[in-house]
Amino acid sequence: MGDTIEPVIGLIGGSGLYDIDGLEEREWRKVGSPWGEPSDELLFGRLGGVRVVFLPRHGRGHRMPPSALNYRANIDAMKRAGVTEILSISAVGSLNGDLPPGHFVIVDQFIDRTFARAKSFFETGCVAHVSVAHPVCPRLGDAAEEAARQVGLKYRRGGTYLVMEGPQFSTKAESELYRAWGCDVIGMTNMPEAKLAREAELCYATIAMVTDFDCWHPEHDHVTVDAVVKVMHANADRARALVKTVVPMLGAPRGPCPAGCDRALEYALVTPPEQRDPALMAKLDAVAGRVLAK
Ligand SMILES: CSC[C@H]1O[C@H](OP(=O)(O)O)[C@H](O)[C@@H]1O
Ligand SMILES: Nc1ncnc2[nH]cnc12
């Protein structure tokens, strides 16, 4: 069938998630990228027969802080590895009294307050502007929601994730500002990851696990790494169950993404072919090969 693809599920594991249990045919493999070094080797395998590629975002051993991650290399390596959709699993602080630690949030919006990261694959030599009005793929969100329901998690569908630069946690004034903006959760990593996944025409969604109340809550201590890690460990089994449940749901052969994530670059390129920089074109072979070949 012309447009039918066999999905390969990319999993990006955040704080506390550095491996995937129960993976069949598992193998860590280095995947090179013209954008530099990904956070680690990629773990290839199958879950319930479905092909999975896992990347620990901070590297095994949590070696790299959010600002030092090479988000472009991570997404490019995933695309080169054949990944068709990415589920990010991330630890977040809560900015919303209705979302206490232990809850999961299937995020649908982001506010990007990061400022010290390369945010696009497109540079001088090839300009492109994709839409990130809806940065999360609803099809992946539906699957994450159904899996959360089946596993019996306390979860909320929808929520805005404020992405801060870090690595320090927020001041109280910042935390209150983000609450006034209507943000629900806060973390340091999902941007530019989500924007780059869109540029690479990969469906993307985030399952955020609330680990703390940041620093705004009058009845809770300010966030510490110790508190985050404790909640992560307490919830590890639930996070694992969620992954094991959601992957098989996404594994069936499918047609094009109804939301158009896999065609994001269709009308995004501004620079005409004769003005494009050949060196940059070579680096874009994986993420933009589909449109550059036209
Ligand atoms: C260890 S607490 C702060 C750390 O945790 C989150 O990481 P991730 O999104 O990869 O789960 C947060 O963004 C910070 O990087
Ligand atoms: N309160 C918080 N702020 C930023 N990133 C986090 N990750 C987990 N909790 C966090």
Amino acid letter at 271?
T
CA angle at 250 for the pair 145 and 256, rounded to the nearest 5°: 110
Strand partners, 224: none
Q: What is the Cα–Cα distance from 158 to 18, expressed in whole angstroms?
A: 26
Query: Which of ligand 1's atoms lies nearest the C-alpha of 211?
Result: 2
**Whole-prediction pTM:** 0.97
Closest CA to 141 of 65, 76, 86, 63: 86
CA 187 – ligand 1 centroid, Å: 6
Q: Does residue 10 contact residue 85 with C-beta atoms inside 8 Å?
A: yes
Q: Does the interface ipTM go beyond 0.95?
A: yes
Binding site feature residues for substrate: 188, 212-214
Q: What is the Cα–Cα distance from 117 to 196, expressed in whole angstroms?
A: 12
CB 188 near ligand 1, within 6 Å: yes
CB 232 near ligand 1, within 6 Å: no
Checking if the pLDDT of 1 tops 80, the result is no
Averaged pLDDT, 186-205: 98
CB 170 near ligand 1, within 6 Å: no
Checking if the pLDDT of 272 tops 60, the result is yes
159-173 pLDDT, tens digit each = 999 999 999 999 999
Token pair, residue 184, equals 């629900």
Using pLDDT thresholds of 50, 70 and 90, give the confidence band for residue 294: confident
Ligand 2 pocket check: which of 178, 185, 211 to mutate, most ligand atoms within 8 Å of Cβ?
Answer: 211
CA 97 – ligand 2 centroid, Å: 15
CA 55 – ligand 1 centroid, Å: 14
113-140 pLDDT, tens digit each = 999 999 999 999 999 999 999 999 999 9
Q: Give the chain's mean pLDDT.
A: 96
- Residue 3 is predicted with a pLDDT of 80
Q: What is the Cα–Cα distance from 25 to 77, expressed in whole angstroms?
A: 20
Averaged pLDDT, 99-110: 98
- Residue 137 is predicted with a pLDDT of 98
Checking if the pLDDT of 2 tops 60, the result is no
Q: Which ligand is nearest to the CA of 185?
A: 2
Does residue 5 sit in helix, strand or coil?
strand
Q: What is the Cα–Cα distance from 187 to 39, expressed in whole angstroms?
A: 18
- Residue 30 is predicted with a pLDDT of 98
Minimal-distance CA residue to ligand 2 atom 7: 92
Q: Which residue do the tokens 């982001």 mark?
A: 110
| CA-to-CA separations, 228 to 90, 152, 212, 240, in angstroms, rounded | 11, 22, 6, 17
| pLDDT > 90: percent of the chain | 95
CB 264 near ligand 2, within 6 Å: no
Residues near 140 by beta carbon (within 8 Å), at least 6 away in sequence: 85, 87, 203, 204, 205, 250
Averaged pLDDT, 258-285: 97
Minimal-distance CA residue to ligand 2 atom 4: 187
20-78 pLDDT, tens digit each = 999 999 999 999 999 999 999 999 999 999 999 999 999 999 999 999 999 999 999 99
Q: Which ligand is nearest to the CA of 226?
A: 1
- Residue 58 is predicted with a pLDDT of 98
Active site residues: 212, 214
Number of C-beta neighbours around residue 6 at 10 A: 12
Task: Tell me which of 120-134, 232-246, 249-263 is least confident.
Answer: 232-246
CATH topology of domain 9-292: Rossmann fold (3.40.50)
